[in-house]
Structure 1
Amino acid sequence: MIDFGFDKLALIGAVALIVIGPEKLPRVARTVGHLMGKAQRYVADVKAEVNRSIELEELKKMKTQFEDAARDVEKNVHAEVQQASSEINSTWNSIASSPDAAPADAWHAGSTLAEPPLDYKPPKKNWRVKRGAVPQWYRHRHGVRAKALSGAARVARFRPPRAS
């Protein structure tokens, strides 16, 4: 901005005092101060907006760099997976096509190369049935109650028989 020294400010003040007059000078000085403050705030806002736009551009560049790096990693991983799966398939095909390969009933014989038979089904579990960790025979032997009785039911159960 413009460089104002003390001597220049004193000269401007003296000229303003002569031209404006001592009665209006404080009000004019206050108005000029307000206008200078508004101008400084405007300049500061413009600087902040420029800095934000520069930072935004830098962030966009970094975002594109990270996206490119992520795409490269994804491509490399995909290529490695494809290569590994093709090697596994070729090895499997070479084992399956060899003349000394295991017969189809090799699963029953204990071979791990053949596929499981089609009639195998995993056991069904009834998840609605509540199963405890303590076996039933242990509970019965040691007198663990499976069901709680109400007070009236307990009295009725252990009441001595009536003599008629």
Structure 2
Amino acid sequence: MIDFGFDKLALIGGVALIVIGPERLPRVARTIGHLLGKAQRYVSDVKAEVSRSMELEELKKMKTEMETAARDVQDSVQQEIHSATQAFDQTWADVSGRSQSLSSDPVEPPSYSHPKKNWRVKRGATPQWYKQRQGVRRHAQSGAARVARFRPSSARRFP
């Protein structure tokens, strides 16, 4: 960078005072200050953009590394599951082969059947007195009907 000392700045100021004149020098100095400020902002924006792009590159690299690591973990887990399944199948085949040799009829595991629980049936089985005590709504009611229902008895009569 250019090194300006006090003596060089004083010399430039003196030459500018002679060339430009005392009446236009403040306006020129202000304009030069604005231009220098814009140049500094532009340089700082370029630096920030370069640093952002470098960080983006690093994040992309990190993302690919993480994806690779996750893929490796997934592959190893799949391999372990596959080996465990094979071992289980082999053990099951050995045990079922022995049980067939011990008895004449083959042993089949029980099949799964859904319990067929129906929450509507359970809700319908709840007694009405219990629903009323717990405050379960049984019917849709408008706001005006609800207000009239809970209005005190003294307010119902009109004079």
Question: Structure 1 residues 24, 84: CA separation in 2 closer, same or farther (over 3 Å shift)?
Answer: same
For normalisation by structure 2, the TM-score amounts to 0.70
User: Shift of the alpha carbon at 1:94?
Assistant: 1.3
User: Shift of the alpha carbon at 1:127?
Assistant: 3.4
What whole-Å deviation, never above 9, does each CA across 1:46-88 have from its counterpart, x for those lacking one? 0000000010011111101111110010001000000000000
1:103 equivalent among 94, 102, 105: 105
Number of residue pairs the alignment of both structures matches: 128
- Alignment of structure 1 residues 76-87 onto 2, 5 Å: 76-87=76-87
What is residue 89 of structure 2 aligned with on the other side?
A: 89
Where structure 2 has 5 or more consecutive residues not aligned to the other structure, the ranges are 133-159
What whole-Å deviation, never above 9, does each CA across 1:104-152 have from its counterpart, x for those lacking one? 3x6xxxxxxx312x7x9666545322344xxx9xxxxxxxx5797xxxx
Structure number with the higher helix fraction is 2
User: Shift of the alpha carbon at 1:103?
Assistant: 2.9
What is residue 37 of structure 1 aligned with on the other side?
A: 37
Give the % identical residues: 61
Question: Structure 1 residues 82, 147: CA separation in 2 closer, same or farther (over 3 Å shift)?
Answer: closer
Question: Structure 1 residues 38, 82: CA separation in 2 closer, same or farther (over 3 Å shift)?
Answer: same
SS of the residue 1:33 aligns to? helix
What is residue 73 of structure 1 aligned with on the other side?
A: 73
* 2:127 matches 1:127: no
For normalisation by structure 1, the TM-score amounts to 0.68
User: Shift of the alpha carbon at 1:90?
Assistant: 0.7
What is residue 10 of structure 1 aligned with on the other side?
A: 10
Larger Rg: 1
Query: What code does the residue aligned with 1:96 have?
Result: S
SS of the residue 1:22 aligns to? coil
1:115 equivalent among 109, 117, 122: 109
What is residue 156 of structure 2 aligned with on the other side?
A: none
What whole-Å deviation, never above 9, does each CA across 1:11-68 have from its counterpart, x for those lacking one? 1101111111111111111111111011101000000000000100111111011111
